[in-house]
Amino acid sequence: MTPADRRDWNDRGWIHCVDVVGPAQLDVLRRSVDQLDAWATTGGPGLHHFESTEGGPVVARSEHFADVHRDLGEFVRGAQVADVLAELFGEPAVLFKEKVNYKHPGGGGFAPHQDATAYRFVDHHISVMVPLDPATIASGCLFFAPGHLGGAMPTDDRGRVDEPFAATLDWQPVEAQPGDMVFFDSYAPHHSGTNRTDRPRRALYLTYNAASKGDHRAAYYADKTAEFARADGTFDGARVRISVNDDFLGRPVTS
Ligand SMILES: O=C(O)CCC(=O)C(=O)O
């Protein structure tokens, strides 16, 4: 991390590291995510969620794969990410959850939210977004609003930042290329749009907490699986869920 990264982190709540994942590593990650995508449709390991697009049903998200996919597990728990996290937390980090958002062509975006409201068991996390395809305004990159690290914002009953409040925020697009990493705080408000291109916009989202706060990954996934099962994987029968909060703007389907 450079002094400018540190300043960005403190002032904004995210840092954009450019060209830090090499081509060989990217190849491994892309091949691995292709395997996850195939596992999703063939009943393979991991937790997989689907959405309907103009092109038909596609995988929207895969998660909980770090223990069942060797290459992904090595990256997720590897030194490259761990070193930056240790600087940001001021101590070693432990994995909290891991997911891939595929955002296939026509795949939905996400309403303004703070991740902290969906991540139980510990009150502060840091995530890193690792794009495997160009994340642009057209393909549905992240938008962040800087300087809101003081705590939880007002939310509606779906866990989204209240619309009138969200409308006052200074949203900034963070376009990122394969090879980049974007680290962001779990209180940094963010949203994203639909993928309007004809190529997927795949990205890993890896989330960690400070090791001194404990290892909650198993409890997080047990709790989430139980919560999804209670309402048959829906928000009270109204909408298929892909996440704890109802912030997904696509058309989720069961398969
Ligand atoms: O992948 C995206 O476009 C946004 C992801 C996001 O905010 C989330 O998964 O909570």
192 lines ligand 1 (CB under 6 A): yes
Rg of the chain in Å (alpha carbons): 17
| Dist. CA 248 → ligand 1 center (Å) | 8
Q: Which residue has the tokens 């609003």?
A: 145
CATH classification at residue 190: 2.60.120.620
| Residue 112 near ligand 1, beta carbon < 6 Å | no
Using a cut of 0.95, tell me whether the model's pTM lies above it. Answer: yes
Residue 252 is assigned to a structural domain of this protein: no
Q: Does residue 98 lie within any of the structural domains?
A: yes
- For residue 195 and ligand 1, the question of a CB distance below 6 A is answered with no
Q: Is residue 253 part of a domain?
A: no
pLDDT-above-70 percentage for the chain: 100
Going by pLDDT thresholds of 50, 70 and 90, the confidence category of residue 239 is confident
How far apart are the CA of 237 and the centre of ligand 1, in A?
Answer: 23
pLDDT of 89 higher than 80: yes
Strands 126-131, 181-185: pairing is antiparallel
The verdict on residue 250 lying in a domain is no
**Structural domain containing residue 25:** 3-245
pLDDT at 67 over 80: yes
Q: What is the mean pLDDT of the segment spanning 223-248? A: 87
Tell me what pLDDT residue 232 has. Answer: 83
Helix (H, G, I), strand (E, B) or coil at 47: strand
pLDDT tens figures, 188-223: 999 999 999 999 999 999 999 999 999 999 999 999
Q: Is residue 254 part of a domain?
A: no
pLDDT digits (tens, 9 = 90+) for 98-112: 999 999 999 999 999
pLDDT at residue 227 in the model = 86
Least reliable range by pLDDT among 112-121, 194-203, 229-238: 229-238
Report pLDDT digits (tens) over 123-162: 999 999 999 999 999 999 999 999 988 789 999 999 999 9
Total number of domains in the chain: 1
Closest-CA residue to 250 (of 133, 144, 103, 129): 103
Rounded to whole angstroms, the Cα distance separating 121 from 219 reads 8
